[in-house]
Structure 1
Amino acid sequence: MPAVPEGFARAYRAQQARYPAAEPAWQPVHTVYVPADRFSARTVAEWGDQALSLVKAHLADPGSLAEVFGVPDGLAAAVHERLLRKLSAEPVDDLRVDFEDGYGVRPGPVEDEHVDRAVAAIAAMRAAGTLPRRWGPRVKSFADGDPDRSVRTLERFVTGVVAAAGELPGGFTVTFPKVLMEPYLGQFAEVLERLEAGLGARLRFEMQVEAPQTLAFLRGDLNESLGGRLAAAHFGVFDYTAAIGLPPHEQRLDHPACDHARHVMQTAFAGTGVELSDGSLAASPASDLARDVHGLWRRHAELVRHSLRHGFYQGWDMHPSHLVSRFATVYAFHLARYDAYRERVRAWEERRPADGGVMDEPATIRTLAAALRRADAALP
C-alpha cells in the first residue's frame, strides 16, 4: 500500500485554510460613500427618496425601463417591480462614512467633531432599524504619512458606536485606502487586533487597490498572513488610472488597464473568500431633464454590465441616481438567465441532457449553482 507522502497533511490543512471554497453568501451589490461632514441619520432615506423621485419622473413604467436599459419587454415588469421595492425598503446595501478623499484634510478637532456626529447618526439609524446590512468608515491611508489621524478616527468611531449603541452592530467593516506598501496591511491588522480586545467583537477590513504597486503583493495567502482579517478588496479606478498615467478622458472603469487590474485581483483572491468590488462612475445627471437623466443611467448601466461580465458583482455608487441604474442592471442580469441556469442544474442532477444539446462539465455546474445562489441573495 503506497505511503502517504511526507508533509501532505500539513499542506492539505494549509490548502483548506487558504482556499475554503465557501459557497457564495450575501454580498452587497454596491457600496455608497458619503463624506463624513455630509452624513446624517437621514442620509440613506434621503438617497432612497431621491432615487424614487427620479424613477417616478423618468422611469414611470416597465416600458420606460425596457427602453432606457435595453431590458427585454418580458423581463422589464419584474425588474421594475423589484427596483421600486428595493428603493422603498432598502436603498443602500453597504454604507461608508468617508474620512478620506471624499472628505479631505481637516484640522484634528474638526475631524473629531465629524466622527462624533457620525457616531450619533449611526446609533440613531441602528435604533430606527435603518442601518444598512453593511456599514462602517473609510479612514485615511497610511500612505498619506499620518497614521495617527487614521487610527484616531477609527478608534473614536468604533468606541463611540459601542458606547452609544451598547455593542458594535453587525455588518461593521472598515475601508483602508491607498495600500501602497504591504507592511501597511499588517500594521492596520494589528490596530484592529488591539482595538477589538476591549470590544468582544471580531474586526475585519477591506483594502483598496488603487495603484499598480499594490498588484505586486496580492496573492492567495495574503488574508492568511493577516489573520483572516481581510474581508474584501475594492478597486479604485481614478487613483489607479492616474497612477499609470492615463489621460483624464480615459479614466474610466471599462478601460483595458482596469480590466488587467481586476483580473490580477481575481487571480490573487480566487477561492480565498475575500470579496471583490469594482469602482465607480464619477458623474451625475447634468440636469433634471429626461435626456440627461437617461444618458447618465445608460452610461452607468454599461459600466455595471461590464463589471458583472468580468465577475465583479459589487461596485461603488456615488450619487442617488446611481441606485436606479445599479439595481435595474443587476436585477436584469440575474433574471435574464435564471430559469435557463436552473434548468441546466436540474438536468445535471437528473442525469438527462439539457435543452439545446448543452453538455455541462462539473465545474460549469458549480458555477451555475453559484450564480443561482448569488441571484437569490441579490434579488429582493
Structure 2
Amino acid sequence: MSAGVLGAADLARIEADLAATDDLLEKNYPGDSGVRQPIHTAYVPADRFTPSLPAAWGAAALAQAGGVSGLEALAGRLGLAQPEELAGLVAAKLEREPLEDLRLDFEDGYGDRGDEAEDAAAITAAEQVAQAVAAGAAPPFIGIRFKCFEAPTRGRGLRTLDLFVSTLARAGELPEGLVLTLPKVTTIAQVRAMVFTCERLEAALSLPAGRLRFEVQMETPQLILAADGTVPSAALIHAGDGRVSSLHYGTYDYSASLGIAAAYQSMEHPAADYAKNVMQVAIAGTGVHLSDGSTNILPLGDAEQVETAWALHARLVRRHLERGIYQGWDLHENQLVTRYLATYAFYREGFAAAAVRLRNYVHHLESAIMDEPATAKALANFIRRGLVCGALTAAEVTSATGISLTTLESIALARATQTEDVNV
C-alpha cells in the first residue's frame, strides 16, 4: 500500500486553523444540558398568586372537564386515541402537578398601578413564592415577568426585579426552578443589560456566579431582523453569557408590530411561523429552550363556547408539538384540560413506534428502518419528554424499549456509549 501524503505538520496546521471553531462549538453549542423543559408556562397577575393557586387551578380545570369521565368524553370528541388512558393520566396530573411553570406577571397582566403599589406587590410576591416552595406547593418552575427595558418602563422593571429577587434570597435559598422573564426585547444591548443586572444582584446578595438566568420574550420584529440585516435572536443567546434559558414567542405583540389585523393574529399565522422558525434555528445546539405563545380564545362562556375554545387550544398545542416546539403559554385554568390531553396524546400516539425503533437500534435488531445515532437521539428524546411530563410511565418505557432509564437518558443527551442494555 502506498503511504499517505499528509503528515504531522499538516495536521498541526489544520488543528491551529480550526482551534477557534473548536472553541466556538464547545462554548456556544454545548447541546442539551438535560435540564427539564416544562410543557407550558401559565401566567397570572402577580398580586393574585398565593401558595394555594396551583392546586386551585388543577381542581377547577378538572371540575370544568367533568372529572375523569368528562376528560374521557372530551378526549373522544377531540378525536384523541386511547381516551380512557388519557383521562386517567391527565386527572392524576391535575391533582399531582397541575402547573409545571408559573409566571407571576408584573407586565401586561399587571399594568401600571403606581410605584408604591408595585413595590409592595413585588415584596409580597416573593414572600408568597417562598412560602409555596417551603410548603411543597410551588410548581417545579416559578418566577416573575417584570416590565421591559424600554425607556418608559426600564426603571420600574429593574426595581420590581430587584425587590423580588432580594426578598426571595433573604427568605432562604432561591428556588431551584426560579425563572425570570425579560419581555419586549428589541436589541442585544438589552440582553447585556440584563446580564449586568444579574451579576450585580448575585454580588450584592452573595449568590453563586451564574445563579440567575432569564428567558427572553421575542415580541418585536427587531429580534428577527435587525437594522443591519443580522439576526439578533441568534446573537443574543451567545451575548447572554450562558444566562439565557429560553426564547418565548409573544403572539399578539409580535403580530401587532407587523400590522396584522386583530382578527388574524394567531399562533399559526404565517408570520408567526416564520419568526418561530428563525428562533428554532437560533437555539439549535445551544441548550436554550424555545416556547410558543398563547391563544387568547379562552374556554369560558356557555358550553358551546368552551367546547370550541378547547378544540382550538388542543389543535394549537398539537401543532407546535409536531413542529418541534415543546412548550407554550396558558392564560386560564381551563386551558390545562386541553394542554395535558393534547400533549399526552401526542406522546402516547407516537410511543409504540418510537420504542420499537429505539429497541431495534440499541439491540442491533434487524429492521426495515435503518436509524442512525442522530435519529436514535431524537427517538430517545421523544420518549424522555413524554416520561418527564407524565404522559408515559417508567414501566411502559423500560418494557417497550428493553433499555434502562439511565440508557435512555444517555442516548437522549448523547453523553456516553450505551452498552449496559445491549444484551438485555
> Shorter-chain-normalised TM-score: which range?
over 0.9
Specify the alignment match of 1:341 in structure 2.
354
Indicate the percent of aligned positions where both proteins have the same amino acid.
39
Compute the displacement of 1:144 (Å): 4.9
Specify the alignment match of 2:199 in structure 1.
193
What TM-score do the two structures reach when normalised by structure 1? 0.93
Residue by residue over 1:288-329, the C-alpha shift from the partner in whole angstroms, topping out at 9 and shown as x without a partner, is 52x332221111001101111111100000000110100111
My pick for the range that moved more, 153-162 or 345-354, is 345-354
Compute the displacement of 1:70 (Å): 1.1
Specify the alignment match of 2:285 in structure 1.
271
Residue 105 (structure 2) aligned to one of 91, 98, 101: 98
Instruction: Confirm or deny that 1:36 pairs with 2:42.
Output: no
| Other structure's SS at 1:3 match | helix
Higher relative contact order (CA 8 A, sep 6+): 1
My pick for the range that moved more, 47-56 or 142-151, is 142-151
- Counterparts of residues 149-168 of structure 1 (less than 5 Å): 149-164=156-171, 166-168=172-174
Residue 257 (structure 2) aligned to one of 233, 243, 247: 243
Compute the displacement of 1:24 (Å): 4.7
| Other structure's SS at 2:69 match | coil
Alpha-carbon distance in structure 2 between the residues aligned to 1:49 and 1:36 = 20
Gaps of 5+ in 1: none
Specify the alignment match of 2:11 in structure 1.
3
Cα contact 2:40–2:330 (8 A) shared by 1: yes
Instruction: Confirm or deny that 1:293 pairs with 2:299.
Output: no
Alpha-carbon distance in structure 1 between the residues aligned to 2:253 and 2:187 = 15
Compute the displacement of 1:119 (Å): 1.8
CA 1:60–1:207: 2 relative to 1, 3 Å:
same
Compute the displacement of 1:56 (Å): 1.9
| Other structure's SS at 2:44 match | strand
Specify the alignment match of 1:15 in structure 2.
25
Compute the displacement of 1:220 (Å): 4.6
Specify the alignment match of 2:416 in structure 1.
none
Instruction: Confirm or deny that 1:359 pairs with 2:373.
Output: no
CA 1:106–1:337: 2 relative to 1, 3 Å:
same
Structure ID, larger Rg: 2
Compute the displacement of 1:226 (Å): 1.8
What TM-score do the two structures reach when normalised by structure 2? 0.84
Alpha-carbon distance in structure 2 between the residues aligned to 1:377 and 1:144 = 41
Compute the displacement of 1:196 (Å): 1.1
Compute the displacement of 1:161 (Å): 1.3
Residue by residue over 1:109-132, the C-alpha shift from the partner in whole angstroms, topping out at 9 and shown as x without a partner, is 010111122122112211211111
Specify the alignment match of 2:248 in structure 1.
234
Alpha-carbon distance in structure 2 between the residues aligned to 1:210 and 1:263 = 14
Instruction: Confirm or deny that 1:308 pairs with 2:321.
Output: yes
Alpha-carbon distance in structure 2 between the residues aligned to 1:210 and 1:246 = 14
Instruction: Confirm or deny that 1:48 pairs with 2:77.
Output: no
| Other structure's SS at 2:66 match | helix
Alpha-carbon distance in structure 2 between the residues aligned to 1:183 and 1:10 = 25
Residue 378 (structure 1) aligned to one of 389, 394, 397: 389
Cα contact 1:82–1:379 (8 A) shared by 2: yes
Cα contact 2:299–2:335 (8 A) shared by 1: no
- Counterparts of residues 216-235 of structure 1 (less than 5 Å): 216=225, 217-218=231-232, 220=234, 222-235=236-249
Alpha-carbon distance in structure 1 between the residues aligned to 2:163 and 2:122 = 7
Q: Name the aligned partner's letter for residue 57 of structure 2.
A: W
Cα contact 2:251–2:293 (8 A) shared by 1: yes
Q: Name the aligned partner's letter for residue 374 of structure 1.
A: R
My pick for the range that moved more, 111-120 or 148-157, is 111-120
Alpha-carbon distance in structure 2 between the residues aligned to 1:62 and 1:238 = 30
Q: Name the aligned partner's letter for residue 371 of structure 2.
A: D
My pick for the range that moved more, 9-18 or 254-263, is 9-18
Compute the displacement of 1:359 (Å): 3.1
Specify the alignment match of 1:208 in structure 2.
217
| Other structure's SS at 2:286 match | coil
Specify the alignment match of 2:333 in structure 1.
320
Cα contact 2:72–2:86 (8 A) shared by 1: no
Gaps of 5+ in 2: 1-6, 226-230, 392-424
Indicate the RMSD between aligned Cα atoms, in angstroms: 1.7
Q: Number of aligned pairs?
A: 373
Specify the alignment match of 1:259 in structure 2.
273
| Other structure's SS at 1:64 match | helix
Alpha-carbon distance in structure 2 between the residues aligned to 1:106 and 1:206 = 25
Residue 60 (structure 1) aligned to one of 57, 60, 69: 69
My pick for the range that moved more, 90-99 or 360-369, is 360-369
CA 1:127–1:350: 2 relative to 1, 3 Å:
closer
